[in-house]
Amino acid sequence: MSYFFTSESVSEGHPDKVADQISDALIDNFLAFDPNSKVACETLVTTGQVVLAGEVKSNTYLDVQKIARDVINKIGYTKSEYMFDGNSCGVFSAIHEQSDDINRGVDRDSKEEQGAGDQGMMFGYATSETKNYMPLALDLSHLILKELADLRRENKDITYLRPDAKSQVTIEYSDNNIPERIEAIVVSTQHDDFAEDEEMLAKIRKDIVEILIPRVKAKLSPEVQALFNGDIKYHINPTGKFVIGGPHGDTGLTGRKIIVDTYGGKGAHGGGAFSGKDPSKVDRSAAYATRHIAKNLVAAGVASEILVQVSYAIGVVEPMGIFVDTYGTSKVGLTDGEIAKKVTEIFDMRPAAIESRLKLRSPMYSETAAYGHMGRENEVVSKTFSQPNGETKTVDVELFTWEKLDYLDKVKKAFGL
């Protein structure tokens, strides 16, 4: 019997994502000037106020207030009527030095023997249902909000948009787990107060369905475009008016959108957030590494769908174990346990090895903090960073290294594919 599956996304202007982007901007700036920085930065945003807290061990000094304000302005919170804007909000910093008790479990005389920065389990997932090996409902949810943000910045076809927004897509799957059609699309977007409520809601609904959705469809493959049909249920700003939003409408905190950040409810999640953490924190680095493994395994033809789990003890170099679940889709005549054993032979999962393999000590994290950490495009960009003394540094940074299919040959050889 067919079934429905739903995933959601939130925009860069959602208060939790504002917090994530500030935390990751701090990470990037620390790593740009001191790649060995140890950072765990949390951010809270609310009406007219930003609070920064956390632990840092670094040889560089930053103007954290300016970094936070630049992020807020870039997102689009630049007007006083939003009750939260980058130029006038208060920024309070309670960042202090990292505990020696934590650091002693991580740093070693030999870099290769670096211990895990925390205990816990991390999951990576991949599926063949999309070209980027991501669940389709989440992929579409992200794309809807990226296009909505582009429309907001263009300020041409739709001129009343504000930064905060959410989306949700429900897809009907066949018994064979194949997407058959889109059942429902939900879009809630913050907006200016430009008309009477009923007239305003009608205008927003018309623009979303007739302007936004066609732009989204135009970026999709013919196979996915075919899933859009006249029977889709659209819920556009279903509560009605959405003028009050962003950090004024709802307090935002780092790390509260971990399912949006990963697989939209598919696979599994170990519970650890990513943003604001340097790569010695395996919550982040091992989650990227397991995605890298899962994607390369699916792309190589080991299975159509794969979940990979790894677990660590704080301060311990080797992982506690690696688990693989192929959901019965294995194509190599091996049990999931046998596949997991081969994974341990192909991929070095020591924390230092992960950092080196995925180049995680470069300032690559700001781009991850909105629209998902997984399924993104691997590319090289040039980024410039500044210190309070006027020193600037421009570096070329490779983004989303865990999305590379650079282990295909090794995987195929190991599995005889």
Annotated binding site for K(+): 42
Contact in structure between 208 and 160 (CB atoms under 8 Å): no
**C-alpha to C-alpha distance for 260 and 258, rounded to whole angstroms:** 5
Instruction: Mention every residue, 6+ apart, whose C-beta is less than 8 A from residue 387.
Output: 33, 60, 61, 62, 63
Distances from the Cα of 7 to the Cα of 10, 142, 240, angstroms: 11, 10, 22
Q: Which residues are annotated as a binding site for ATP?
A: 14, 164-166, 241-242, 250, 256-257, 273, 277
What are the CB-based long-range contacts (under 8 Å, 24+) for 339-346? Answer: 339/297, 339/302, 339/303, 342/414, 342/415, 343/293, 343/297, 343/308, 345/414, 346/407, 346/410, 346/411, 346/414
Q: Which residues are annotated as a binding site for L-methionine?
A: 55, 98, 250, 281
**C-alpha to C-alpha distance for 228 and 216, rounded to whole angstroms:** 11
**C-alpha to C-alpha distance for 324 and 6, rounded to whole angstroms:** 24
Kind and range of the H or E run holding 261: helix 258-261
Q: Which residues face 56 on adjacent strands?
A: 39, 97
Q: Which amino acid is at 144?
A: I
**C-alpha to C-alpha distance for 165 and 207, rounded to whole angstroms:** 15
**C-alpha to C-alpha distance for 130 and 138, rounded to whole angstroms:** 11
3-state secondary structure of 276: coil
**C-alpha to C-alpha distance for 163 and 28, rounded to whole angstroms:** 23
- Taking Cα atoms as reference points, which of 274, 284, 332, 286 lies closest to residue 306? 332
Q: Which residues are annotated as a binding site?
A: 14, 16, 42, 55, 98, 164-166, 241-242, 250, 256-257, 273, 277, 281
3-state secondary structure of 266: coil
Q: Which residues are annotated as a binding site for Mg(2+)?
A: 16
Kind and range of the H or E run holding 355: helix 351-357
